[in-house]
Amino acid sequence: MRATIPSKWTRTIVVCSKCSKRVGGGFGPKKRASLAKALREWLDQPRGRRASVGIVESGCLKLCPKGRVVAFDAAQPNEWHLVKPGTAMKDVARALE
């Protein structure tokens, strides 16, 4: 059995899945996708360890802002972003970099 598995991830973005469900989408070109899915599509990333950026949906982060989705870069865990549905993906990606 292997002890490790290689990955191409250079950074990890964590998105609260509960917040995403509560706002009911609102991201992407048609404003229907979740934040994680819209980021993955905008960054043109495949799922899994082949991607250069890992976008992970977590359980509840216990912040629960109304009408926003919590997201942060795992390399900078001291700065969480509250993303409003309808925000342009280039602005979200820039903030999370």
**pTM above 0.85?**
yes
> What whole-number distance in Å separates Cα of residue 39 and Cα of residue 14?
11
Strands 81-83 and 69-73: antiparallel
Residue 62: per-residue pLDDT = 92
Bridge partners for 53 per DSSP: 11
Q: How confident is the model at residue 92 (pLDDT cuts 50, 70, 90)?
A: very high
Tens digits of residue pLDDT in 17-60: 999 999 988 998 889 999 999 999 998 988 888 899 999 999 99
